[in-house]
Structure 1
């Protein structure tokens, strides 16, 4: 394995693990504070039990997210020194603000975890809200930095030098809103369905049904509402990508030929040699409409992009299809759930609906990983779109392959440890809160 590939794979694995921890850490505090709010309003012990159980999960993911995020910060400097040398002064502001948000989150979480019986009940609840808001802002700020890589702004690039730096303009670049919106909603979708799926499984097993039923409903409502909002943010993102990164859109859709009334491709296997897509479902005009708002608009194809500037087509296309396909599956489950809440009350306790949520447990995170693959692989060969190539930013230090193997082992170990901690937490919750939840539900 050459050092360039090893460096890219190491960042991919690091981001792939961190994004899961980060998204759960961003969203779980909101679940926790909703349960806490119900406890303060109703005084039903089951909601207090749910709050305390979820708060332990928040603490676990806060710690793992902090560790994995710190490793990523070091990797940026160690693996991509040329990138950080030039980009650091430009997009350093969102990273510094993210650090501030992280410290606020840490302080508020400390108050929350140790504030039971020591703080005023509503002030205690408010510290949980601060944990959620600061965690969400932290994620948005990191995404703003990533958006800058897709839509560089806030500087003039003259004779290989970065001049007239404006960090505010860099942070609020053209891509930050669409990416931050899409990512934030994705975090709620993936975490909502994952948490709902775990509680649905416990209900199906007959473990502490009153406790898990109420926890399931909170998580399911967050996840299903977000799932229905996600296609809207996806449309905003698609239009933004079509305008700023036509090569990425062409790779996402395996759109080889520039044309008007361009068809939306569903599925299919890209044949890059013959510039076509086999076994695909094509809907005429829909890609033009989704990208430009006009069915007869021209959509740039890969034929207008120099070969050396084209992203990997197959990976980008498959990742995009996985993201969209799983997203639509979750939208369908969400619509079924809303119908059950509105019209078919008896469906809410049906085993088939609970089984759907159990099956959907990993779908949000698979879609999330696929979406990040589209974002990062679809930008290649650029690390800063149109300005700096990824190959020019990698460290000249040899032996990166060994670093890749080491960090991969660390992240796999971390994932195993977190999984065991969560499994232990879930089983302990089912035993500990069984009698209190059933008594006070």
Structure 2
């Protein structure tokens, strides 16, 4: 393995691991905020039980996510020193603000977790608002920095160095609204389906109590609201990419040849050498319709760009198709679930549908992972588009392959610790809860 490939593999592994905690760290606080609000309003014990379970899980995810996020911050300096030297002064501002948001989230999460017997019910519930808002703001700041790498603004290049830096303009670069909204909605989609999958699995195992039904319902409610919005935001994002990053857009759709009225190609085996796609399903003129709103609109293909500027087209196209496929599968499951609920006026317990919910849980995270692969791999061979190539941004140090193996082991250990802790929480006795400050021990219950 070359040092460049090892550096990319290590960063990719770190991001793939960390993004799971980031997504759940954004989505879970909103869920336990809603659940506790329902508990206070309805005085229903099941809502409070869900709140307690989810807040414990969020605390574990927050801790593991903080560790993996710290590793990522070190890796930026160790693996990509040229990138940090060039772009650190431009995008340091959103990272600084993300740090403030992170500490605000940590403070109120601590108040929330240790305030059950010390705060009034209303004060305790209000502490959850800064938690989920800070988590959402943190995600916005981090993704805005990534957006800048795709459409860099806010500086003037002079003698190979960025000068006249405007950090606000850099943070509000053209890609920011599209990437940030798309990612924030992805967090809610993945969290909703993940939570619903847990309780659907419990129901399939015979636990048909109100606790599991409410957990399934609120997870699917978040999913059915966020998923169509996510798909719409993805459509806006793709339209933007067709103009702002035409190379990435062409790789996503495996468009080798420019032309008018181009089709969408679903699946297939991409052959970059012969510039074609074998066995793909073509939908005539639909790509021009989706990108420009005109069935005969011209679009740029990869033939407009030097092959040295092409990303890994087969992997980008496959990742894009997987992301879209997972998204539409989730939308189908959520739609059928709520249509069935409306018709029967109760939560559906059909085993096929419940299995669909269980499958949608991991597929939602697969969509996030492949979506980030599209974003990151589609930008290649650039780290900062038009200014810094990835090969020039990586460290020249010779130890990167060893570092990759060491950090991979660290992530395996973190994953084992996380799974063990979550299983411990799931199997631990459930308190006989009322409102905050009124808990009494203990009753056996499962997740």
Q: TM class, shorter-chain normalised?
A: over 0.9
Of 336-345 and 382-391, deviating more is 336-345
Whole-Å separation in 1 of the counterparts to 2:325 and 2:160: 42
* Aligned 8 A contact 2:289 2:297 in 1: yes
Gaps of 5+ in 1: none
Whether 1:212 and 2:212 are equivalent positions in the alignment is yes
Check 1:195–1:418 CA distance in 2 against 1; reply closer, same or farther (3 A cut). Answer: same
* Aligned 8 A contact 1:208 1:430 in 2: no
Whether 1:333 and 2:333 are equivalent positions in the alignment is yes
Matched position secondary structure for 2:267: strand
Q: Who is 1:190 aligned against?
A: 190
Whole-Å separation in 2 of the counterparts to 1:412 and 1:361: 21
Residues 311-322 of structure 1: pairs in structure 2 closer than 5 A: 311-322=311-322
Whole-Å separation in 2 of the counterparts to 1:284 and 1:381: 30
Q: Who is 1:276 aligned against?
A: 276
Q: Who is 2:257 aligned against?
A: 257
Q: Who is 2:149 aligned against?
A: 149
Gaps of 5+ in 2: 434-440
Matched position secondary structure for 1:173: coil
Matched position secondary structure for 1:162: strand
Q: Who is 2:199 aligned against?
A: 199
Q: Who is 2:169 aligned against?
A: 169
Residues 402-413 of structure 1: pairs in structure 2 closer than 5 A: 402-413=402-413
Matched position secondary structure for 1:383: strand
Whether 1:224 and 2:224 are equivalent positions in the alignment is yes
Check 1:435–1:60 CA distance in 2 against 1; reply closer, same or farther (3 A cut). Answer: closer
Q: What's the CA shift string for 1:243-267, capped at 9, x where partnerless?
A: 1110001111110000110111111
Instruction: For residue 231 of structure 1, report the CA deviation from its aligned partner.
Output: 1.2
* Cα RMSD, aligned residues only: 1.7
Q: How many residues align?
A: 438
* Aligned 8 A contact 1:46 1:436 in 2: no
Residues 5-404 of structure 1: pairs in structure 2 closer than 5 A: 5-207=5-207, 209-345=209-345, 348-404=348-404
Of 288-297 and 188-197, deviating more is 288-297
Of 417-426 and 6-15, deviating more is 417-426
Whole-Å separation in 1 of the counterparts to 2:305 and 2:214: 53
TM-score for the superposition, normalised by structure 2 = 0.95
Matched position secondary structure for 2:270: strand
Matched position secondary structure for 1:349: coil
Of 425-434 and 1-10, deviating more is 425-434
Matched position secondary structure for 1:277: strand
Instruction: For residue 436 of structure 1, report the CA deviation from its aligned partner.
Output: 6.6
Matched position secondary structure for 1:408: helix
Whole-Å separation in 2 of the counterparts to 1:314 and 1:68: 29
Check 1:55–1:386 CA distance in 2 against 1; reply closer, same or farther (3 A cut). Answer: same
Whole-Å separation in 1 of the counterparts to 2:168 and 2:198: 42
Instruction: For residue 437 of structure 1, report the CA deviation from its aligned partner.
Output: 10
Q: What's the CA shift string for 1:196-250, capped at 9, x where partnerless?
A: 1011111121237221111111111101221121110011110111111100011
